Amino acid sequence: MWNFTKMHGCGNDYVYFDCTKEALPNASEAAVFMSDRNTGIGGDGIILIKSSACADFYMEMYNLDGSQGRMCGNGIRCVGKFVYDKGLTDKTDITVETLSGVKKLHLAVKDGLVYEVTVDMGHPSVQPADLPLVSDEPAIARPIVLDGQKFEFTAVSMGNPHAVIPVAATADFAVERFGRVLEHAPIFPEGVNTEFVEVLGRNEVNMRVWERGSGETKACGTGACATAYACRLLGLTDDEVTVHLLGGDLRIVYDSENDTVFMTGPAVTVFEGTINWPAV
């Protein structure tokens, strides 16, 4: 029997496990089994919290299809809440190791519980090798045809690959139709997360996201960061942007002096329980 905590950041939900003392076996298979919203716990994947040799904690994440993810902005905020609320740390400034490097978190606490987390998401990059992207030069407002329709995308790495596409409106946009095509496009050999963005003003955008390995989700923290950076790069927004997602809002700040993106948003515990794994 394993104790778990179901958590979400702006509706981007994962199942969390304390693996600081014991490793969850067959994590990839567990992600598929537990993420099922009909026969499992339900979620966009699972996140294992482990010890780290170079940070306070290590975050290991798996998407609902069993593939391993490098980083998740919404997920890492919930990691911060988990470790503080569970008493694994008493610090409000912590570091978390991920496959995209070590991230710094500041935990906002009220009545002994974390309600909001700010994450130093690091340096954005448009260099093709960092995504990776099959190209000799960065893709900034590059034309592309998806399922017969023309778009322009800007490719940004936030430790994982993103393609940001401005659209006239996001409300009725066919996210699955076009997101699925770009996810498997040969120019992105490791797949890509695609953000469809409606610019509302210099400090405000709407965003919907198709995440590789998970499909459309209610939010994507790294995607919101990539969106804010891409829109600034295109001259559409300023350094501070509120990103409206299906699951809620994220505040993104680009520190141009240090070439760093900061993300602030909520972290919520939904429920806790126990589950048999391996399943019998």
- Residues with a known catalytic role: 72, 220
β-strands 204-211, 45-50 pairing = unpaired
Q: Hey, which bits of the chain come out as E strands? A: 2-9, 12-18, 45-50, 57-63, 68-69, 93-98, 101-110, 113-122, 142-146, 149-157, 161-166, 193-201, 204-211, 215-217, 240-245, 248-255, 260-266, 268-275
DSSP 200-249: EETTEEEEEEEETTTEEES--HHHHHHHHHHHHHTTSS-SEEEEEETTEE
The residues pairing with 272 across neighbouring beta strands, listed in sequence order, are 5
Q: How far apart are CA 204 and CA 37, in angstroms?
A: 32
Query: Vertex 72, ends 154 and 187: CA angle to 5°?
Result: 35
Residue ranges of the alpha helices (H) in the chain?
Answer: 27-35, 73-85, 175-183, 221-233
CA distances from 152 to 12, 89, 166, 224, 234 (A): 26, 45, 7, 18, 11
Tell me the two tokens of residue 198.
């409606």
